[in-house]
Amino acid sequence: MAQRLIVIGGDAGGMAAASQARRRRDRTDLEIVAFERGRFTSYSACGIPYWISGLVEDRDDLVARDPETFRRDFAIDVRLRHEVTVIDLDRREVVARDLAGGGEVRERFDLLMYATGANPVQPDWARTDAAGVFGVQTLDDGDALRDWLERDPAPRRAVVVGGGYIGVEMAEALILRGLDVTLVEQAEQPMSTVDPDMAVLVADAMRGLGIDIRTGVTVTGLTEEDGRVTEVVTDAGAFPADVVVLGLGVRPNTALAEAAGLPLGPSGGVRVDRRMRVVGVPDVWAAGDCVETLHRVSGQPVHIPLGTHANKQGRVAGINIGGGYATFPGVIGTAVTKVCDLEVGRTGLRERDAAAAGFAFVSVIAESTNRAGYYPGARTMTVKLIAEQPSGRLLGAQIVGWSEAAKRIDTLAVALWNGMTVDDMTSLDLGYAPPYAPAWDPVLVAARKAVDALPR
């Protein structure tokens, strides 16, 4: 008799696991049923702001594999609009509610893949029935927001609450659509994923695009009229709004896991081992934004919700479910984004992370250009490095620049992953040609400056 794998969650982590398991075990050996509460599978949530802005024209371009492809090519029984409400480990079954047709179904499992993703942070004031208030966590959310923006009369004034990745990207998207945009952030700078001295560069660029940034401001409520949002109320006054976008971050979606008795770690995510098995629970795996993982620099458990990690973790889980052997080695927190032409990259620890982990460190900021100074299009690039003292081991890096900046963070991520020192980095054999870099690449300039800052 074939074993049965139940997958909870039809996006990156869950469907990567299901696909890998299928490649190693055919349908006569392993049945696979995947439950997804939304209307899509395997899509790019990171692409939603670019679809909202109009840079991506067709929403379906964000879908990597649709349900029919999984059913036809992978023999995976995908059930959309089904939300799993109970995991019964003793009876080895799940209970799912049919959100479209009503009623519920029960399905047994031999193996379980938990990939429920993350939930948006939603304070009490955001729990409203007023029209015009949106999150952008899923393609369904994106559909709803696009419909609202294209209504007649079209909204003119937008307030984005939260200055993290999604808030910054959505502020750009709404500016590109021609709205007046105010971004409200409780911290003193947007982009808290980088240090304040780098975040100020991002804020200045956003203001240059016409985005009204209000930092150090706490939202306390929403005002509505005739069932529609009209204002965002803060401790610094009220801001008119025809549309409100919430970008307050996410937390691991673990309510179902916790109710079933699956272990959670200090970051709030499901605890897994290197093979993505849930710790202490046989035949149960987890991956994606719902799990915590090891930070390779700090050595601490962290929750870093990114599609890159979810896909890799899901692949590892699926290989192991399929009878192979694979491990996930952890993360270093590499991420990039942009605000129109301004590019931002980061990897490893920020200054406050390094201090919290107990490192003694130096940090330096170096300004250079993305190309040879005489070559057309040369623009400023700012690189920040954080290095352990006295060893000089790289602990973290951040880059802000106007062109060719973001992907340079990958050079620093590789150096960080492999435990290089800033002294090692000064001799890296990086590519040079005037259209692509000065003779001393900005990464090398920053590494030299970090070496000079270390105690001798």
Active site residues: 46
CA angle 158, 120, 47 (to 5 degrees): 65
Distances (CA, A) of 166 to 174, 291, 318: 12, 20, 29
* Strands ordered across the beta sheet of 228-234: 219-225, 228-234, 237-240
> Which among 421, 438, 429 is positioned nearest to 385, based on CA atoms?
421
* Rounded CA separation 269/406 (Å): 28
- 52 and 142 Cβ atoms separated by less than 8 Å: yes
Cα(300)–Cα(293) distance, integer angstroms: 8
**Bond from prior residue into 455 cis (ω within 30 degrees of 0):** no
For the stretch 164-189, what's the b/e string if a residue is b when 16 or more beta carbons lie within 10 angstroms of its beta carbon? bbbbbbbbbbbbbbebbbbbbbbeeb
Backbone angles phi, psi at 219, to 5 degrees: -75, 135
Q: How far is it, in rounded angstroms, from Cα 217 to Cα 219?
A: 7
